[in-house]
Amino acid sequence: MNLLPPDPAQSQTPVNLLIVDDVPQNLVAMQALLQREGVNLLLAGSGAQALELLLEHEVALALLDVHMPEIDGFTLAELMRGSHRSRDVPIIFLTASPDDPVRAFKGYETGAVDFLHKPVAPQVILSKVNVFIELYQQRQLLKARNEALERSLKLNETMAAVLTHDLRTPLSAILLCADKLALELPGDNAGAQQTLKYLEASTLRMARMVEQLLDFSRIRSGGLRLQASACDLAEVTRAVVAEAGSAHGHARVHLDMQGDTRLQGDLDRLGQVAANLVGNALTHGSEARVEVDGRDPRSVLLRVSNAGRIDDALLPRLFEPFKASFHPSNGLGLGLYIVDQFVRAHGGRIGARNEAGQVVFEATLPRRSESPGTAAS
């Protein structure tokens, strides 16, 4: 599917040029000079008529006569600059008055791009008009391409969200069937029991990937919202550590808590932050040391460390999507990106460093976020 618009040269939409002059003969002369295929000339005999045309049409360039009754060219330019619709229209002033630097300066002061004195050579007018037509067409093409790319990105993110959402149901069914089979299989059938364990582990890993993709699509589309409430980061982390200890062995996870660890935050998202950091530490190290420090009256610190080292060149890119894997694994490289986005959505910050043979992740979370809400994309 081609999402890009057709080339402007092939487009059926003409480019509008506004010409304003109170002398009819001058309008006829300009029309004869500038009229051609792909260009629509809007002719106005007064400033009032010009304003009416500007309300109805988008204009690529305005050629204004300076000396006109009631609304002169300078006043018309100021009125155009005061309107959102016409404020960015390039203006070329035309005048039959003698060369006067003061008047020229006034013209440029009102936002003109050029100030020409009559009579003007036809080739000069044509060359200047052609430049602004080309600039306008390029802007329109760029605008159309950006809109098409935004639509494409939105479509891709929507499709990813729908796909990951639909994958949840079969994965849940597989897990339920695996649990049922585990209960029904005889205990002495070690081979079948081991196969079921592999099946369950693979399904759980796939479920985590699906959840990460769903969170990723929500973040990128601005659809992720925090449900902030009073919570205790120590209690959230304690539950995560207990679950990780059951899965990996309690001796591999060490938890230390001190100070007042209460804050305003999204309980589920904070749990995901802690779970991702602890899981990351256990994947890349033999043990995970988890600390929750609430001694700062303004914020609560979550620190997770493990033995190892991250390449210095990778540290600045560690929280980018799909680029954070520094260990052979089957993950998507989204975990740390999602952690970073959740922490940012709480008004906090997260960083990683190498310190004395340890990889240390530190997330600082304000006790009360000023504007908890959408994660940054």
What CATH number corresponds to the domain at position 199? Answer: 1.10.287
> Would the pTM of this model clear 0.85, i.e. be above it?
no
What CATH number corresponds to the domain at position 362? Answer: 3.30.565.10
pLDDT in tens, 107-156: 777 778 888 888 888 889 999 999 999 999 998 899 889 888 888 777 77
pLDDT in tens, 254-310: 999 999 999 999 998 999 999 999 999 998 999 999 999 999 999 999 999 999 999
Number of domains observed in the structure of the chain: 3
* Residues written for the chain: 377
- Residues 83 and 261: their CA atoms lie apart, in Å, by 53
The verdict on residue 201 lying in a domain is yes
321's tokens:
């999507």
227's tokens:
């449900």
The verdict on residue 376 lying in a domain is no
The verdict on residue 135 lying in a domain is no
Indicate if 251 and 359 belong to the same structural domain.
Answer: yes
- Residues 109 and 104: their CA atoms lie apart, in Å, by 9
Of 83, 81, 64, the closest CA to residue 73 belongs to 64
pLDDT digit string (tens) for the chain, length 377 residues: 344 444 444 445 789 999 999 999 999 999 999 998 889 999 999 999 999 999 999 999 999 998 888 898 888 988 998 888 888 899 998 887 776 677 777 777 777 888 888 888 888 999 999 999 999 999 889 988 988 888 877 777 677 667 766 777 787 888 888 888 888 888 778 888 788 877 877 787 777 777 777 777 777 767 677 888 999 999 999 999 998 888 888 899 999 999 999 999 999 899 999 999 999 999 899 999 999 999 999 999 999 999 999 999 889 889 988 765 554 454 557 889 889 999 999 999 999 999 999 999 999 999 986 544 555 55
φ, ψ for residue 46 (rounded to 5)? Answer: -155, 165
310 with 358: CB under 8 angstroms?
no
Amino acid, res. 174: I
The dihedral sign for the CA sequence 246, 249, 253, 255:
positive
φ, ψ for residue 304 (rounded to 5)? Answer: -130, 130
| Residue 172 structural domain | 150-221
Indicate if 355 and 243 belong to the same structural domain.
Answer: yes
